[in-house]
Structures are given as structure tokens and as C-alpha cells.
Structure 1
Amino acid sequence: MNLSYTSYLKVDELLELQKLQSEPPEHDEVLFIIIHQTYELWFKQILHEFDKVRKDLENGNTWAAMKTLRRILTIMKTLVSQIDILETMTPLEFNSFRSFLGQSSGFQSLQFREMEILCGLRFPLMKEAHENRPDHINKLEERMNERTLWESFCQYVNTRGFSVNAERINEKGLIHEANDENQQELIRMMRSDPEAALLAELFVDFDEGLQEWRYRHVKMVERTIGTKKGTGGSEGAAYLHKTLNHQIFPDLWQIRKAF
């Protein structure tokens, strides 16, 4: 059989993956499923790009790392813009099928937790949400043993004649905390190495993009279910508020005051 568009992309299989739980079927559940399935595909691509950008950094390949980071940033913009589509669904329309979702919750997204781990984040919910899936727990633990984005960036910076420490200081929260000595070296780097400085700015762009995604996400949840508990018993918007303004590269933000 010759390879075709449909067979290559598995279109027939893909279009069979939207299984509604509502009875009778609710019109807006299709949108809800497709949006979240699309998010998972983009999370997969971001993790794929994370693997590449870490290798690029560790190999000292500046321009390849920049290209990969720019792709990640563009995907992040797409993730944010998809919320606009989801917000065309009113609270009444969402609640028409919400009760059929059972214990399923966005907190159970394995791939988003993998992304957070590679950004240097650690907190109990990462494993708690997957306590009934040993395979998920194993995947999260494997990710926790991998290099973070910051560790790969610091290795890149150090090979260019600077001395930035990527020590894991905290295992509950952000594992790479701000460091005055690191900031002095990063300031020196920003002033003397234009290529590394440009790369650092892309890291700040990504950090800002992740914060933008979190903000849009929490506002979408608030306008859809208000202060109610999330599906699966999560805290809903109350928990999401706690994640706002979490900087994953604090040293790169702290040095702003030096310029």
C-alpha cells in the first residue's frame, strides 16, 4: 500500500479518539476534548525540543540552541492562544457535561509535569496526581534525574569562560535558587559575550511565556467554574493562583536591576 496523507498521519485513527462521556452527547464536549488532546500533542513537541536544546547547549552550539528556543517560544504562544478558543464555551455549556468527567483532571497531565521538572520545579502534587500509575511515577523520577534546562545553560556558559553554579539547593519547590555570585558572573557575561547574552534573553522569554500561560489558564478556570473545586477534587483556581509569578530562572531576572 502506497503511503498517503491519511495513512502517514494516521488520520482515521486520530479522528476516532474523541470519545464523549456525556449522555445524551453534549455539543461542546467535542471542543473540550480536542483542545486538551491538542495541548498534549504540543507538550510532546516541547519535550522533544527540550531534549534538543539541552544537547545544543551542552555541545556549545549557540545558534542551534537559539533556533530551538525560538520554536519553543512560538509553541508557547500557540498554547496561550488556544485558551481563546476554549473561552468561547460558556460556564453553562461546560457544566452541561462536567459531571461526566469523573475524577479526570488537568492536574493529571504527565507531560506537563515532565516539562515543569525539566524547568527545575519539584512539589508533592507531581507524584500525588499519579499515585495509581506506577509507570507515570517512574517516568517522573527518570525526568528528575535528567539535566534541567538551567543546568544545561550553566554548562554552556561555563565553557565560555564564566563560572555559574547550577547546584540543586532545594528539592521542594524550585531546585535552583537565586545566587548572588551567579548573578555577578551573569552580569559579566551579559556585558562581554553578546551571543550568550542573546541566548540568556531567550531563556527569559521562555520563563515569561510560561508565566503568561499560567495566568491565562487560571483566568480561564475562574471564568468557567469560579472558586469551585476542580474535577478530580483539585483546588481548582485556588491552586493555580499559587503557581503564578513562579520564575524558573530567578538569576536571569535578578540581574535586570544591574543595567
Structure 2
Amino acid sequence: MTDSRPGSQAAPQADPHDERFVSFGEQGAQLTYGSYLRLPALLDAQHLESDPPAHDELLFITIHQVYELWFKQLIHEVIAARDAMLGQVEDDRLWWAQHLLARVHVIERVLVQQVDVLETMTPQDFLQFRQQLAPASGFQSVQFRELEFLSGAKDPAYLERFRGLTDAEQQRLGRRLAEPTLWDAFVAVVAAHGLPAGDDEEIAMSVRSAAHDRSRYAAVWALAEALLQHDELAASWRARHVVMVERMIGSKSGTGGSSGSAYLRGRLPLQYYPVLWDVRSRL
């Protein structure tokens, strides 16, 4: 609709064919929302195994694929935060590490909340396709193990317990076992601030000193709190996950041959940073 008032002019309309409004990708091909996000491949990645198709299997697949995408993002952020802490001696990047860890916390809260969506599926509906999942199991999530290893909970026995890993997955996990963790990076930060960091007892006392002199050791204390938050949120996800599993299958064994909820409950006491938890008793 044009403006007919004297002296007025209608606002110019963008020409969709004007090169100024067209983005180009590789080799001059037009870049679109769908091509940029690879939507054809992404939306074709959900293939049901049940026959006849079980209605809730699509939900189950979608939720777990979304988890894997978030795991990928978490690994990306954790590596960057670790590297920022390790490089802080030459380049003061601790603010960047704190920023990235804050993002990790937000994503981890999303992981916990996604369980609510999965729990809209009833046990009866899950049983319609559960047998088709065997021997697949969430235990086999390589990215989840990478995240645990990077956080500080390295478990070389995982590579022996799970024999279905591809060569590439074996190499990835082996690399994670060999490289520094978030905890290693934090210890480097403690030492760089002139605080003792030779063993767990020294680190605990140094964190306690930082807690009581936050103006001088603000970065040390902030990172200690960020790591503790990461640890707490990981524990929250494990706790929420095991209750969901028990709600769905009770005490039945897992599809991958694990003991199901019994195995998951055995993981609940896991702490990435027991030293930081111990400091709470010393404040």
C-alpha cells in the first residue's frame, strides 16, 4: 500500500534479485537457510527401526540426536576454555575461559530439561520399539565419554569394556586420555598465581586462600566456582537420567547388556573435582 500524501514517497522495496540481497556460498552457489544448515541431510537422519512404525520412536531418536549435537558443542566449549586457561601465562585469557564455562552451564541445564520431553513417552509406548534398539545403548556414546575425559574423569577401562568402537573412535578417546583436562588447566592457573599446586592438599589450601582473598585471587576463585558448577550440573543430569530410566524400564537390564539403572545409580557418586568439594568443608 502506497502513501498518496503530497510529497510523500513509498519506501523502496528490496529486490530479491538484487545482488546486494543475495548471499553466495562455495563455487558461487546461492546459500540458503536450508543449505547452510544442511537440512536435507539433517532431517533425513531419523530412520525408525520398528515395523509397523511406533509413533514415539521418532521422539526417541530426535531427543538422542539433539543430545549428541549438544555434546559436540560442549566438547567445543570445554576444549576452548581449557586452552584459554593453559595459555593464560602468555595471554591473559581467563575472562574468556569463565565466559565459555558459563555457556557450558547453560547448555547443561538444557540437557537436564530435555529429559522432561522424553518422559512424555509412556513405558508402554517405549516397549513398542525397545527390542529393536538392541544391542545399541547410551553407554556407547563416544562424545559423552570424551566430555567426561576432558572434564577430568578419565577412565581407560572404558576402551576395554566397550568393544564396538571403530578405529576412529578408539583414536579419539585415546587422544582425550592423553591430553590435558579442565582440572589440569585449573591447576596451571593456580600455580601461575603463585599459589602452591604440587598435590591435592596444596591445591585445596590454595583454593581456600583464594576464597578468603577474592580481591587478589578473583580469577582463581571464579574458575573454581565455574568448575564446581560444571560438576554439579553433570551430577544433576546423571541423577535425572537414572530416574527417567527407572520410570521407563524399572530394574530391567539395558539394551546394550549393561545392568540398566543399577549401572547408572553406581555412577551417581562420581565427582569431577573432589578437591573443590572438599574445600567447602574448610571455608
Is the shorter-chain TM-score for this pair beyond 0.5, marking a shared fold?
yes
Structure 2 match to 1:244: 268
Q: List gaps (5 residues or longer) in structure 2.
A: 1-28
Checking the alignment, whether the CA contact within 8 Å between 2:98 and 2:226 is kept in structure 1 is: yes
Task: For 2:170, give the aligned amino acid.
Answer: I
Decide which moves more: 130-139 or 235-244: 130-139
Q: Which has the larger radius of gyration?
A: 2
Aligned pair 1:55/2:105, yes or no?
no
- Percent identical pairs in the alignment equals 42
Determine if contact 2:151/2:181 at 8 Å carries over to the other structure.
Answer: yes
2:186 and 2:223 in contact (8 A); partners too: no
Once the two structures are TM-superposed, the CA of residue 123 in structure 1 deviates from its matched residue by 5.2
1:1-259 mapped onto 2 (5 Å cutoff): 1-60=29-88, 61-121=93-153, 122=155, 124-165=157-198, 179-192=200-213, 193-259=217-283
Per the TM alignment, residue 188 of structure 1 is displaced from its structure 2 partner at its CA by 1.2
Q: Which amino acid aligns with 1:186?
A: V
The runs of 4+ residues in structure 1 deviating greater than 4 Å are none
Q: Which moved more, 1:69-78 or 1:118-127?
A: 118-127
Select the structure that is richer in helix.
Answer: 1
- Contact 1:108/1:130 (8 A) holds in 2: no
Q: 1:30 to 1:119 in 2, by over 3 A?
A: same
Q: 1:163, 1:182 within 8 Å by CA — same for their partners in 2? A: yes
TM-score calculated relative to the size of structure 2 = 0.84
- TM-score where L is the length of structure 1: 0.92
Cα 1:209–1:126, aligned 2, differ >3 Å: closer, same or farther? farther
Question: What is the CA–CA distance in structure 2 between the aligned matches of 1:138 and 1:185, rounded to whole Å?
Answer: 36
Instruction: Figure out how many residues of one structure are paired with residues of the other and give that number.
Output: 247
Q: Deviations over 1:101-157 (max 9, x none)?
A: 121100000000111111222152344224452322221111100101100111112
C-alpha distance in structure 2 between counterparts of 1:38 and 1:243, whole Å: 23
Distance across 1 between alignment mates of 2:182 and 2:73: 16
Aligned residue for 1:55, secondary structure, equals helix
Tell me the equivalent position of 1:172. none
Do the aligned residues in 1 keep the contact of 2:82 with 2:185 (CA within 8 Å)?
yes
Report the Cα distance in structure 2 between the residues aligned to 1:36 and 1:131, rounded to whole angstroms: 19
Q: Which has the higher contact order (CA 8 A, sep 6+)?
A: 1
Q: Distance in 2 between matches of 1:222 and 1:35?
A: 18
Task: Write the distance in 2 (CA, Å) between the matches of 1:254 and 1:126.
Answer: 30
Check 1:29–1:148 CA distance in 2 against 1; reply closer, same or farther (3 A cut): same
How far apart, in 1, do the equivalents of 2:193 and 2:97 lie?
A: 15
Structure 1 contact 131–137 (Cα < 8 Å) conserved: no
How big is the shift at 1:201? 0.6
- How far apart, CA to CA, are the structure 1 residues paired with 2:218 and 2:152? 26
How far apart in 2 are the matches of 1:128 and 1:246? 18
